[in-house]
Amino acid sequence: MTNAINATHDPKLKSWVTSANEAGSDFPIQNLPFGRFRPSGSKEAFRIGVAIGDQVLDVKAAGLVDTDDMNVLLAQGASERQALRTALSEGLREGSAKQAAWSKALHAQSAVELTVPCRIGDYTDFYTGIHHANAVGRQFRPDQPLMPNYKWVPIGYHGRASSIGVSGQRFKRPQGQTKAPDAAEPSFGPSKRLDYELELGFIVGRGNDLGEPIAIAEAEQHLFGVTLLNDWSARDLQAWEYQPLGPFLAKNFASTLSPWIVTMEALAPFRSKFERPAGDPQPLPYLDSPANRESGALEITLEVWLQTAKMREAGEPAVRLTRGNTAEAAYWTPGQLVAHHTVNGCNLQPGDLFGSGTLSGPTQDQSGSLLELTVGGKQPITLPNGEKRTFLEDGDTLSMRGYCERAGAVRIGLGEVSGTVLAAG
């Protein structure tokens, strides 16, 4: 089971890679996330790596896999993933006989180029953040913030995979049609209400055959792991175009992923009960199981940080805008998303990406977007240097960080995902 705690989670474990033992490290030996890398400045093919402290281990050079194709690794079953995790843990722990050989397969993270951690064939964005759905719904439908189907079915739409980039992505401000409330017709130009969306990305591992749904009891066996996702949004384009078929140009210009996939196995110590609030409908049978009720939810702390161009020029660090936890934010679990996505016979493939949707907490300081944090632009935020923001401006760098902490377990991190807005071109 992906949520089973075993020897690889032992809080006493230390690594011979000393940076992995430092307090606050995102990548201790209890984590072991996967990504793709190559030496900086080279034109070599990207290959599979595992983050350990401030290093990355070339898993093929270490003799652990015989491929450089991450999607081949994703297609393996849960038992093969667990065996690989065990081998990594045993080889990287203090006193391992592998130290001499594996030291030659290590690269400093500061000396490598990272890319999107796998080939993404299809991208589905869900809407699991109930507080986000309520807050946004109140801005447009004060009498009915949530649509009648929200608490019964995981809402989602199919997004664009081709514009997904890795952390550090720089993209031009999108252009498109907008329509002011008092205008007789729409106008064309750069978006004036550019926003971020704080999300988790779930990476599909082993797929399923067309016409063969995945039962919720087996759903997590088909998820490889979790990454951070910023699904940038042009709110003014979105308001004009989204009816009747949903997001289009407001979403497909850029989405940014962190370079590391934290495996479902690594998250085992940070699971929690999935419980619906009193009075809410319980999930239909195909979305319900004892295991999902007992430990279907994830406890991941998420933060949003902003550095403006003026701050960067003055040498001032980014400032934190919000902080929240996924257990308070998500109305549906990862397993439920898999079960629902495939219940009609849809076939998933290794490397497919699910976005969680914006994950906001119940209070405004836990907002997962500026649309919520500034109440649709009506309440600008003031930064420490005196600048104000309602939505993102050119030159802004927006970063998201994620980590898991719990008594009796070693802290693990998801790393960081950042992106910078450029002027429209």
Residue 275: both structure tokens together = 């419980």
Query: How is the chain split among helix, strand and coil, in percent rounded to 5?
Result: 25, 30, 50
Determine the Cα angle at 137 with ends 396 and 389, to 5°. Answer: 20
Between strands 112-115 and 106-108, the pairing is: unpaired
**Contact call for residues 330 and 302 (beta carbons, < 8 A):** no
Residue 79: both structure tokens together = 């038992």
Q: How far is CA 6 from CA 40, 83, 85, 261, 262, in A?
A: 36, 12, 11, 20, 16
- What gap in Å lies between CA 177 and CA 421, rounded to an integer? 19
Of 303, 301, 306, residue with least CA distance to 390: 306
Name the 3-class secondary structure at 146. Answer: coil
**DSSP, residue by residue, 395-415:** T-EEEEEEEE--TTS--EEEE
Measured in whole angstroms, the distance separating CA 330 from the mean position of its chain's CA atoms is 13
**340 catalytic residue (yes or no):** no
> From start to end of 314-408, where are the E strands?
319-325, 353-355, 381-382, 388-389, 397-404
- What gap in Å lies between CA 20 and CA 26, rounded to an integer? 8
- What gap in Å lies between CA 193 and CA 172, rounded to an integer? 14
**Contact call for residues 395 and 420 (beta carbons, < 8 A):** yes
Between strands 34-39 and 271-272, the pairing is: unpaired
For 401, residues 6+ apart whose C-beta sits below 8 A from its C-beta are: 228, 302, 303, 305, 413, 414, 415, 416
The active-site residue out of 9, 132, 222, 340 is 132
Strands lying side by side in the sheet with 301-307? 169-172, 412-422, 397-404, 301-307, 319-325
> Residues with catalytic annotation?
132
